[in-house]
Chains A and B, each alone.
Chain A
Amino acid sequence: MNFDHGETKIDFIKHRKKFFMFSGIFIFIGVILLSTLGLNLGIDFESGTTIDVLSDDPVTANEVIEEFENIGYSPDNVVLVGDNNEIGRASFIGGLAQEQTLEVQSHFDEVYGHTPGVSTVTPIVGEELAKNAVISVLIAAAGIILYVTIRFEFLYGISAIVALCHDALFILVVFSVGQMEVNIPFIAAVLTIVGYSINDTVVTFDRIRENMSYEKKVKDFDDLARVVNKSLVQTLARSINTVLTVVFAAGALFILGGEGLRTFSFALVIGLVAGTYSSLFIAAQMWLVLKTRHLKKLRNRKVETEQPDQPEA
């Protein structure tokens, strides 16, 4: 995609309130859904056992359930996965004891010739994981604010974090609405998005900073808006090309990567789109609003201290 900088007249600024409103409403509704509907926590976050039964030929859910019943077990749920439904994933909420899983494994090894994969968890482990993930994000956010404040300025840091939270919440909301399973790789995906979102925002901010240094005098909202818009147009080609290539990668994983990577890559694709949207329509505009307020404050102070008699320009 080519964007002619001279001719392209995309106004990212004019509709900023609509973007804020759209994201605000989405997140608001999302948070309500999150607190009522909640997330569809996978076995990683619940107490229980999942057994992946692999066969050489396609199986049906009834077949798998029957095989379990033959040895005296009744799974709480059986789903078929794999390209030809050759994997039956049976979940046992509450979990099986070690001897029981061993019995199941040896039984299916005899029947299908493959040892099934077994995962067992107690909720303590899942809860700890989720807690760790939240702590990690908070620490990362603090670190990022610090770094951006040192390299840029504090207001950029704040805006970047707003965009980051926006993206992380966005994926959580999508997963809550779709009731898609949240597992450990999903957490990895959310954290990747956090990294990508910040990467994307920093690239835009870097251009704003550069363009700001070319400006002789930036005194009000209109000046700032012009600089921000110019920077966004200038980085637009990069933003779109980068997100396209990464979406190629994540999309190929989603379509071809197999069951194990599906949730992960779906979260990535959603997060990448949200990340690009937020860097283009939320982060820079946020900075614009904060910076305008900051400039106004500075000017008022100046007016009070240096030129108390002069009317405001």
Chain B
Amino acid sequence: MKKKKGVKKSLIVAFFAIVISFATLIATNVLDHAEDISLGLDLQGGFEVLYEVEPVDGESEINRELLTDTVSALNARIDVLGVSEPNITIKGDNRIRVQLAGVTDQQSARKLLSTQARLSFRDVNDIVMMDGSDLVEGGARQSFHEKTNEPIVSVRVDDATLFAEITTELSNRPEGEDLLAIWLDYEEGDSFEEERIKEVSKIVSAPRVEEVISSRDVMILGNFTVETAQELAGILNAGALPVDLEEIYSNSVGASLGERSIELAINAGMVSVALIFGYMLIYYRFMGIIAVLTLSAYIYLVLVVFNWLNAVLTLPGIAALILGVGMAVDANIITFERIKEELRSGKTTISAFRAGSKRSLSTILDANITTILAASVLYVYGTSAVQGFAVMLIVSIVVSFITSVFGARLLLGLWVNSRSLNKKHRMFGVKEREISEL
């Protein structure tokens, strides 16, 4: 047997240096990155509501400006709730989508969002005495009743004489008609008589006015707890919605359902990655090791890029991640098959590696670009869950291109160029008898 040319040990050292440094990097901060990922509604719990926007009492037309105003009003309200990353988007001409992840009290959140917060003060015949426009903007606050110590909401009237006039007029009326009904979201057709006997009433309170009140502060009593009083003051300050919001779609996920889903999906992911690793190792031998290394790097980089994009991980997103592993493997498989083919045609290891890498590149490029094309269309036309899927797919394809094409080429290249793999066809899963003579 002819003596082999000297093995370049430095390249093998470089290989291990790269692998070990990357492994250390992954080991030290993969958990941080994994924890940083913001989870979507389906994983974290929370809810999503699609509202159809309708003009208040048919007054004005819905236009872009009105929608934007509504969105900022909603944003201000969500601040009251203290949700960290609300996602409010305008859809089409008259829809607004609100997504709130991690909201613990969904019921009050939904109520808080859809109420218009239009405060009006009416007499028993539903005649408007004054409304929100007569109040000092941002002047609502929660306080306590001086005598009973009950939580109340107090608002400030812009013009002190207006309130004095109203109370003068009311206090002169006979008993039973001297009530000042404080309405939230009065609508055409509502009446005091009907509403006051309802269990859930739009009338916050209807105090008797027995004397002229010349103060600018109006106290609203209404069986509040400190919390509900604070909330009402909060929405009042956030401003009334300029429109009516009709809930046409809502999707809420309890957090415990979400936790279950993510556990299952992560388990499934680990099993499928293990299966793929095993298959690649058995089938491609030495190149399989390279595939396992680049795929691990791929999974890590996807996490990093995903965090960096501040994207939200959803269940379909996890599915896309796992599918992305398949795509990354595909890039490896295309290259490895090509290298095996070149080996079978009788080329030396080095030239088979070079030819195989070069020829597989255009195939992988074309295949990936067409898939990115499809994913981009999904992103543009899809709704939230489908969009999450598309983002993950695009990220996966781009990252897999880096790891499975360039990464694999670098790592395999170090070994091949070190000449230590020369004539070791079995290491590539190629049998000697398959090799045709040149």
Complex CA gap A196/B327 in Å reads: 9
Taking chain B's interface residues, is the majority helix, strand, or loop, or is none over half, making it mixed? helix
CB of A58 within 8 A of chain B? no
Q: Is the CB of B377 within 8 A of A143?
A: yes
Contact digits for B333-377, partner A, Cβ 8 Å, 1 yes 0 no: 110010001001000000000000001001100111111011101
Cβ contacts under 8 Å, B265 to chain A:
253, 257-258, 261
CB of A252 within 8 A of chain B? yes
Cβ contacts under 8 Å, A265 to chain B:
319
CB of A77 within 8 A of chain B? no
Complex CA gap A251/B276 in Å reads: 12
Cβ contacts under 8 Å, B222 to chain A:
none
Contact residue among B50, B110, B255, B374 (Cβ-Cβ distance under 8 Å from A102): B110
Taking chain A's interface residues, is the majority helix, strand, or loop, or is none over half, making it mixed? helix
Cβ contacts under 8 Å, B318 to chain A:
261
Range of interface residues on B (Cβ < 8 Å): 35 or more
Known interface pairs A125-B249, A185-B315, A264-B316; A148-B370 also in contact (CB < 8 Å): yes
Known interface pairs A98-B247, A118-B250, A185-B315; A237-B260 also in contact (CB < 8 Å): no
CB of A232 within 8 A of chain B? no
Complex CA gap A105/B106 in Å reads: 10
Cβ contacts under 8 Å, A143 to chain B:
373, 377
Range of interface residues on A (Cβ < 8 Å): 35 or more
Contact digits for B233-273, partner A, Cβ 8 Å, 1 yes 0 no: 00000000000000111111111110011001101110111
Give the A-binding residues of B (Cβ under 8 A). Answer: 42, 50, 106-107, 110-111, 114, 200, 247-257, 260-261, 264-265, 267-269, 271-273, 275-276, 279-280, 283, 315-316, 318-320, 322-323, 325-327, 329-330, 333-334, 337, 341, 344, 359, 362-363, 366-371, 373-375, 377-378, 380-383, 385-386, 389, 393, 429, 431, 434, 436
Interface residues of A in 86-137 (CB under 8 A from B): 87, 98-99, 101-102, 105-106, 114-122, 124-125, 129, 132-133, 135-137
Contact residue among A120, A135, A210 (Cβ-Cβ distance under 8 Å from B359): A210
Known interface pairs A143-B377, A245-B326; A117-B257 also in contact (CB < 8 Å): yes
Cβ contacts under 8 Å, A6 to chain B:
436
CB of A140 within 8 A of chain B? yes
Other 17 A-B pairs with CB < 8 A, given A235-B337, A248-B276: A2-B434, A87-B257, A98-B247, A114-B254, A114-B256, A117-B254, A132-B383, A136-B377, A137-B377, A195-B375, A245-B276, A245-B329, A245-B330, A252-B268, A253-B319, A257-B319, A260-B261
Q: Is the CB of A255 within 8 A of B279?
A: no
Q: Is the CB of A199 within 8 A of B370?
A: yes
Closest CB in chain B relative to A236 CB, distance in Å: 9
Complex: chain A residue closest to B369, CB-CB:
A147
Q: Is the CB of B386 within 8 A of A187?
A: yes
CB of A184 within 8 A of chain B? yes
Complex CA gap A147/B247 in Å reads: 42
Cβ contacts under 8 Å, B249 to chain A:
120-122, 125
